[in-house]
Chains A and B, each alone.
Chain A
Amino acid sequence: MHSLLFAAAALQSAHPLDGTAAKWLWLVPLLPLLGFAINGLLSIAAAYRPGPTDPSGGAAHGSDESHAGQGEGHDDAGKHAHHEIPRHRYAGLTSVVGPGVLVLAFILSAMIFVAMRNAGGGAIEHPFIQRYFSWMPVGDLQIDAAFQLDQLSMLMVLVVTGVGALIHVFSVGYMRDDPGYPRYFSYLNLFVFFMLLLVLGANYPIMFIGWEGVGLCSYLLIGFWFSEKANADAGKKAFIVNRIGDFGFLIAMFLLFANIGALDFQGVAAGTKALAAGGPVVTAICLFLFLGCAGKSAQIPLYIWLPDAMAGPTPVSALIHAATMVTAGVYLIARSSMLFSLAPVAELVVVLIGALTAIFAASIGLKQWDIKKVLAYSTVSQLGYMFVGVGSGAYVAGMFHLATHAFFKALLFLGSGSVIYAMHAAYHHTHNQDDAQDMRNMGGLRRHLPITFVLMWIATLAIAGIPPLAGFFSKDEILGALFARAQGSTIAQAHLFGIPGTVWLYFAWTLALGAALMTAVYMTRMMLYTFHGPNRTGDAERPYLKESPWVMTGPLVVLAALTVAGGWLNLPEFAPLGPVGGLDRWLEPVVGEATKRVIGGAAPVAAGLELGLVAVAVLIAAAGIAIAVTRLDPKSLVPKSRSPQEEGFEKVLVNKYYVDEIYDDAIVKPVVATSRDLLWRGIDAGLIDGLGVNGAGKLTRFVGWVGSQFQSGQLGTYAWVLAIGVLAVLGAVTMR
């Protein structure tokens, strides 16, 4: 594999990006790392002086007491009418450093993007690899610390830094009164650093560092207000479930090294030619990689952490659990396209699980009352869509949906953050203990938060798939690609559990359509209950509901603009509003070959059939909205404290099909019981401690006791010993 590296290096020596802004590539992740260090030092420095301190997240205004009544343990800041909550000592400096490094990183990424376009854009055949040092040269394994810049990673870098910068700016307003202000920004910056490592890494181990790092930051940020146990538990849950997926990633890396001998993307791409197409090795590698994706990107069966992750601050949910971290799995599959395209069975599994997750999560979202939970399940569902996309070999479609989803989901989350901010402010004024995130306590907020209202409707229409917003194009491309693969492709020819791939793919297509319908329904439901109808917040609180400051609504506007214009990234041929297939051509050198391999020479779908499918999708979206508008009546809602309990199937949906409870009984309790009784009490305390450690002591004492028995003080005994000794010596001499 050394020869491959040298070959890549030789090619690299003539890369079109040499000498351009791309040589500052290393600075892009370094800036957020710097922000992490500075903000972290500020946070630590503040801890040594009196003042509003961490980490209770509420010592200053006693949020522990005033929020005790909220069942789900989330905790947001708000203004007191009685006294101004003192801001953090270093809030000013943090407000500059925190978002500042992200904005700088984005500007730098944009410059590199421009350089890339000037150097040929989608025509650049080979990636630009910057090798910094040899990281792990161990025998046959040669891993370098290197960054790889190609069209795919450029796309991800732009999304991460761009959306990240917007969310950082939003957080300046959202978290302004939090005592943990610098700590929040340091964690957020650290997260962006790790995410950039993930997308820029030139080999799987570097990517894995980023993979694990974002998991860590997710834990830190979900449990940001860790003085409430529920928040800390949510953080732990996220990290532990992620770890299960990471195990899959590791096994995949081991298999890769064992069979191909290389772990860098260039080496793996070259080495896949040696693997048997569709063989057990490559299928195993892909399935284990997908296990990692299921953990990180919240697919069945490891999605359970994402709804609980809503315990963190809302901008965190926007950045990590909507736009960036959860999309790492999609990026991984796109990055490993050369492997996945060789394993149709694995791709079939990906498509199926993606489709099942999409419809499963959508059904749960139909009956959730917490606004953030609705969005969380929506995220899980949309991630399922992305996996359907990359699973069916339409890597470009999956990445396209990743980008557009980042825009409108971040907008939705930040918008809901705006709503929650207003609700919290109102409740603080009246010391109300109600749930500020429950939609039954909202209603009619369009009169109070008009800007947020309009922007969130834009996002809702986008996610439902109404043209010409971004979501329509990306969703539609996935559905179209899925249908086309069902008609003819290597996946369709594969078999899973004896059933031909074609059947599975059509089944997945119907599931995806069903999920689209439900998406439209529950998103419209969310909008109806939150913004329309009468206001249920309470007469005392109503005067205090008002729009958020510009530092928060500004990013919302930018995101809305992106949501509207995002579709232009990859326009289909039947809607030539601008350059057609921009993203297709941009990502061609990276995933083009893999996509062709999956299509396997099948003819593309006829234009008429394609238009028909598009029409079906739009109809479904519109039908969903119509169903929600006609059948749901916001006037019939009552505030949460007076709401009746759900019954029947509704109850099952509200309780998310009792999946957490099932996992608890089937997996967690047996594991805990085994660990406690068998491993701890049995083996550790009993065997190792008892037999080994204590046993060694007891044995020594026993030997000593035996020895002491000979020292009886009785001369007779000593005489005996003498006699026996004499016998022994004589025996040794005579019995030769």
Chain B
Amino acid sequence: MLALPPQQAIPMAHGALPLLYTFHFYLFGLIAVGSALLFVTRKSPVAAALWLVNTMFCLAALFVLLDAQFIGALQVIVYAGAIMVVFLFVIMLLNLGQSPPADIRGIWWKIAAGAVGIAILAQVAAVIRAKTPATLTLPVGFAANQVASTGAVAPVAGPLFNDYLLAFEITSILLLAAIVGAVVVGRQRGEDLAR
């Protein structure tokens, strides 16, 4: 494998992060949230899909900021570049693009769903506040140092092909099954063609 030359680790002070870093983090985070909100409220499926793509881009940026560059690249390539493209293909295929009927439920639904969402948020927030054991926490900057020393792919590839090899193999079988299933379910039947 071609390994990138080890780069100079970005010097991080204990507990203090560069302002630029923090600014970008919040920027991408807020754009992600805003895009998501816009995504769920668009009437047109195409517009909604595109807003979701935007959300995914922002998430990819966040991944990079969180020292998961490889995952960030994967996010763009696989998620935004493949999965969302498939979505758009289907939307176009079913000709749902222009003037779709309004499919957002009524105001009471919105209020109720909003309440549920806020409730879930609250509960998750409560979980987040819980303290984790000190033995699990890594020293600050550990992930960044890892990336600096071994490159972005190695921290993922190492565990993937060693500890989680079985899961990896099973996932490949899962993909095979999905491909076969998608082809079988999605193919044109005889009677449909006759119509």
Direct contact of A and B (CB under 8 A): yes
Tell me the residues in window 118-175 of chain B with beta carbons closer than 8 Å to chain A beta carbons. Answer: 119-120, 123-124, 126-127
What residue in chain A is nearest B130 (Cβ atoms)? A734
In the complex, A727 Cα to B124 Cα: how many Å?
A: 10
Contact indicator B126/A734 (Cβ below 8 Å): yes
B109: shortest Cβ distance to chain A, in Å?
9
What residue in chain B is nearest A716 (Cβ atoms)? B105
In the complex, A726 Cα to B123 Cα: how many Å?
A: 10
B172: shortest Cβ distance to chain A, in Å?
29
Determine which of B105, B123, B127 lies in contact with A727 in the assembled complex, contact meaning CB atoms within 8 Å.
Answer: B123
In the complex, A724 Cα to B124 Cα: how many Å?
A: 14
B167: shortest Cβ distance to chain A, in Å?
25
Contact indicator B116/A730 (Cβ below 8 Å): no
Chain A 722-736 interface mask (CB, 8 Å, partner B; 1/0):
011011001101100
A734 cross-chain contacts in B, Cβ below 8 A = 123, 126-127
B106: shortest Cβ distance to chain A, in Å?
12
B144: shortest Cβ distance to chain A, in Å?
32
In the complex, A726 Cα to B117 Cα: how many Å?
A: 11
- A-B pairs with lowest CB-CB distance, top 9: A730-B123, A734-B126, A723-B116, A734-B123, A727-B119, A734-B127, A731-B123, A727-B120, A727-B116
In the complex, A716 Cα to B119 Cα: how many Å?
A: 19
List 15 additional A-B contacts (Cβ < 8 Å) besides A724-B116, A727-B120, A730-B124: A716-B105, A723-B116, A723-B120, A726-B120, A727-B116, A727-B119, A727-B123, A730-B120, A730-B123, A730-B127, A731-B123, A733-B127, A734-B123, A734-B126, A734-B127
Chain A 697-736 interface mask (CB, 8 Å, partner B; 1/0):
0000000000000000000100000011011001101100
A669: shortest Cβ distance to chain B, in Å?
62
B126 cross-chain contacts in A, Cβ below 8 A = 734
A730 cross-chain contacts in B, Cβ below 8 A = 120, 123-124, 127
Which of the listed residues A724, A731, A734 has the most CB atoms from chain B within 10 Å of its own CB?
Answer: A734
In the complex, A730 Cα to B122 Cα: how many Å?
A: 10
A727 cross-chain contacts in B, Cβ below 8 A = 116, 119-120, 123
What residue in chain B is nearest A732 (Cβ atoms)? B123
A393: shortest Cβ distance to chain B, in Å?
91
In the complex, A259 Cα to B161 Cα: how many Å?
A: 94
In the complex, A727 Cα to B126 Cα: how many Å?
A: 13
Question: Residues on B close to A: CB < 8 A?
Answer: 105, 116, 119-120, 123-124, 126-127
B127 cross-chain contacts in A, Cβ below 8 A = 730, 733-734
In the complex, A335 Cα to B123 Cα: how many Å?
A: 87
In the complex, A723 Cα to B123 Cα: how many Å?
A: 13
A731 cross-chain contacts in B, Cβ below 8 A = 123
What residue in chain B is nearest A724 (Cβ atoms)? B116
B120: shortest Cβ distance to chain A, in Å?
6
Which of the listed residues B119, B120, B123, B127 has the most CB atoms from chain A within 10 Å of its own CB?
Answer: B123
What residue in chain A is nearest B112 (Cβ atoms)? A720
B124 cross-chain contacts in A, Cβ below 8 A = 730
In the complex, A726 Cα to B124 Cα: how many Å?
A: 11
B5: shortest Cβ distance to chain A, in Å?
46
In the complex, A351 Cα to B127 Cα: how many Å?
A: 93
In the complex, A716 Cα to B103 Cα: how many Å?
A: 12
Tell me the residues in window 467-509 of chain A with beta carbons closer than 8 Å to chain B beta carbons. Answer: none
In the complex, A734 Cα to B127 Cα: how many Å?
A: 7
In the complex, A730 Cα to B125 Cα: how many Å?
A: 11
B120 cross-chain contacts in A, Cβ below 8 A = 723, 726-727, 730
Chain A 680-696 interface mask (CB, 8 Å, partner B; 1/0):
00000000000000000
What residue in chain A is nearest B127 (Cβ atoms)? A734
In the complex, A716 Cα to B123 Cα: how many Å?
A: 23
What residue in chain B is nearest A719 (Cβ atoms)? B113
Some 15 contacts from A to B, beta carbons below 8 A apart, are A716-B105, A723-B116, A723-B120, A724-B116, A726-B120, A727-B119, A727-B120, A727-B123, A730-B120, A730-B123, A730-B127, A731-B123, A733-B127, A734-B126, A734-B127
What residue in chain B is nearest A731 (Cβ atoms)? B123
What residue in chain A is nearest B105 (Cβ atoms)? A716
B123 cross-chain contacts in A, Cβ below 8 A = 727, 730-731, 734
What residue in chain B is nearest A730 (Cβ atoms)? B123
What residue in chain A is nearest B123 (Cβ atoms)? A730
In the complex, A142 Cα to B177 Cα: how many Å?
A: 84
In the complex, A206 Cα to B126 Cα: how many Å?
A: 81
In the complex, A730 Cα to B116 Cα: how many Å?
A: 12
In the complex, A42 Cα to B60 Cα: how many Å?
A: 107
In the complex, A734 Cα to B129 Cα: how many Å?
A: 11
B105 cross-chain contacts in A, Cβ below 8 A = 716
A723 cross-chain contacts in B, Cβ below 8 A = 116, 120
What residue in chain A is nearest B124 (Cβ atoms)? A730
A733 cross-chain contacts in B, Cβ below 8 A = 127
B119 cross-chain contacts in A, Cβ below 8 A = 727
In the complex, A726 Cα to B126 Cα: how many Å?
A: 15
In the complex, A141 Cα to B123 Cα: how many Å?
A: 70
In the complex, A731 Cα to B119 Cα: how many Å?
A: 9
A724 cross-chain contacts in B, Cβ below 8 A = 116
What residue in chain B is nearest A726 (Cβ atoms)? B120
In the complex, A716 Cα to B120 Cα: how many Å?
A: 18
A160: shortest Cβ distance to chain B, in Å?
90
B123: shortest Cβ distance to chain A, in Å?
4
A716 cross-chain contacts in B, Cβ below 8 A = 105
B193: shortest Cβ distance to chain A, in Å?
28
B121: shortest Cβ distance to chain A, in Å?
11
In the complex, A716 Cα to B105 Cα: how many Å?
A: 10
In the complex, A716 Cα to B113 Cα: how many Å?
A: 11
In the complex, A723 Cα to B119 Cα: how many Å?
A: 10
In the complex, A370 Cα to B119 Cα: how many Å?
A: 95
In the complex, A734 Cα to B122 Cα: how many Å?
A: 10
In the complex, A724 Cα to B120 Cα: how many Å?
A: 10
B22: shortest Cβ distance to chain A, in Å?
29
In the complex, A716 Cα to B116 Cα: how many Å?
A: 14
Chain A 51-68 interface mask (CB, 8 Å, partner B; 1/0):
000000000000000000
In the complex, A716 Cα to B110 Cα: how many Å?
A: 13
In the complex, A734 Cα to B124 Cα: how many Å?
A: 8
In the complex, A734 Cα to B125 Cα: how many Å?
A: 10
What residue in chain B is nearest A729 (Cβ atoms)? B123
A726 cross-chain contacts in B, Cβ below 8 A = 120
In the complex, A730 Cα to B117 Cα: how many Å?
A: 13
Tell me the residues in window 558-602 of chain A with beta carbons closer than 8 Å to chain B beta carbons. Answer: none
A668: shortest Cβ distance to chain B, in Å?
65
In the complex, A734 Cα to B121 Cα: how many Å?
A: 12
A295: shortest Cβ distance to chain B, in Å?
74
In the complex, A727 Cα to B115 Cα: how many Å?
A: 11
B154: shortest Cβ distance to chain A, in Å?
36
B79: shortest Cβ distance to chain A, in Å?
22
In the complex, A731 Cα to B105 Cα: how many Å?
A: 27
In the complex, A733 Cα to B120 Cα: how many Å?
A: 12
In the complex, A734 Cα to B123 Cα: how many Å?
A: 7
Which of the listed residues A724, A726, A730, A733 has the most CB atoms from chain B within 10 Å of its own CB?
Answer: A730
In the complex, A448 Cα to B129 Cα: how many Å?
A: 123
In the complex, A496 Cα to B37 Cα: how many Å?
A: 98
In the complex, A716 Cα to B126 Cα: how many Å?
A: 27
What residue in chain A is nearest B129 (Cβ atoms)? A734
In the complex, A723 Cα to B127 Cα: how many Å?
A: 17
In the complex, A168 Cα to B140 Cα: how many Å?
A: 120
In the complex, A115 Cα to B116 Cα: how many Å?
A: 103
In the complex, A727 Cα to B116 Cα: how many Å?
A: 8
In the complex, A116 Cα to B105 Cα: how many Å?
A: 107
In the complex, A723 Cα to B115 Cα: how many Å?
A: 11
In the complex, A733 Cα to B127 Cα: how many Å?
A: 9
In the complex, A723 Cα to B121 Cα: how many Å?
A: 12
In the complex, A724 Cα to B112 Cα: how many Å?
A: 11
A54: shortest Cβ distance to chain B, in Å?
79
In the complex, A730 Cα to B119 Cα: how many Å?
A: 10
